[in-house]
Structure 1
Amino acid sequence: MDKDQVPFLDSDDPHFQHARALSLSVGAIRRAQGKCNPNDFAVGSLEWHFAIEDFAGDVLRALMGETEGADIQLNERPRD
């Protein structure tokens, strides 16, 4: 693929629709909880990076069905 070519996102693709719905749901829940979302900040700013990490944790909790108070450690290698 040409590096200057943007991949085509098919809005009719069910995987795209599920991902979009999850993103919108997590964003709405975070907003109701008084949390910031990544799109509240300039892309690449320090605040944006913190919001992305926190948002990703909420997405993982939503996907995994974790209950409130669950602690998911990101970037941690599995123990042998």
Structure 2
Amino acid sequence: MNPADDRNDPTFLRARALSISVGAIRKAQGKASPADFPVGTVEWHAIVEDFANDVLKAMLSEPDLQLLEIRRDSTGK
């Protein structure tokens, strides 16, 4: 079976636009991008988490929202 072509799906297009927008804002702020590091490295994981937090903040339009920060604690929970 061939996977569905999602390039014209409105939800996919909105998610892509949000990702591109967050990436552009991060670049303007001098923040790193996940593409700046090899996939799977410690640095890549840290930037992916930071990028995800920025996406959540953009989606909720709450730039100082602390409740949804995605962070791993040292216990691995």
Please report the TM-score for the alignment, with normalisation by the length of structure 1: 0.77
In the TM superposition, residue 7 of structure 1 has moved relative to its aligned partner by 4.6
- 2:75 match: none
Distance 1:9 1:31 in 2: 30
Distance 2:22 2:45 in 1: 17
- 2:45 match: 49
Gaps of 5+ in 1: 76-80
Identity level (%): 53
Query: 1:38 aligned to 2:34?
Result: yes
Contact 2:49/2:70 (CA < 8 Å) preserved in 1?
Answer: no
Quick one: structure 1 residues 13 and 53, their matched pair in 2 at CA, closer, same or farther if it must change by over 3 Å? same
Aligned residues: 70
Gaps of 5+ in 2: 72-77
- 2:65 match: 70
Quick one: structure 1 residues 32 and 74, their matched pair in 2 at CA, closer, same or farther if it must change by over 3 Å? same
Please report the TM-score for the alignment, with normalisation by the length of structure 2: 0.79
In the TM superposition, residue 11 of structure 1 has moved relative to its aligned partner by 0.2
Q: Which has the larger radius of gyration?
A: 1
- 2:57 match: 61
Once the two structures are superposed, what CA deviation does each residue of 1:6-64 show, in whole Å capped at 9, x if it has no partner?
Answer: 85441000001000000000000000000001111110011000000000000000001
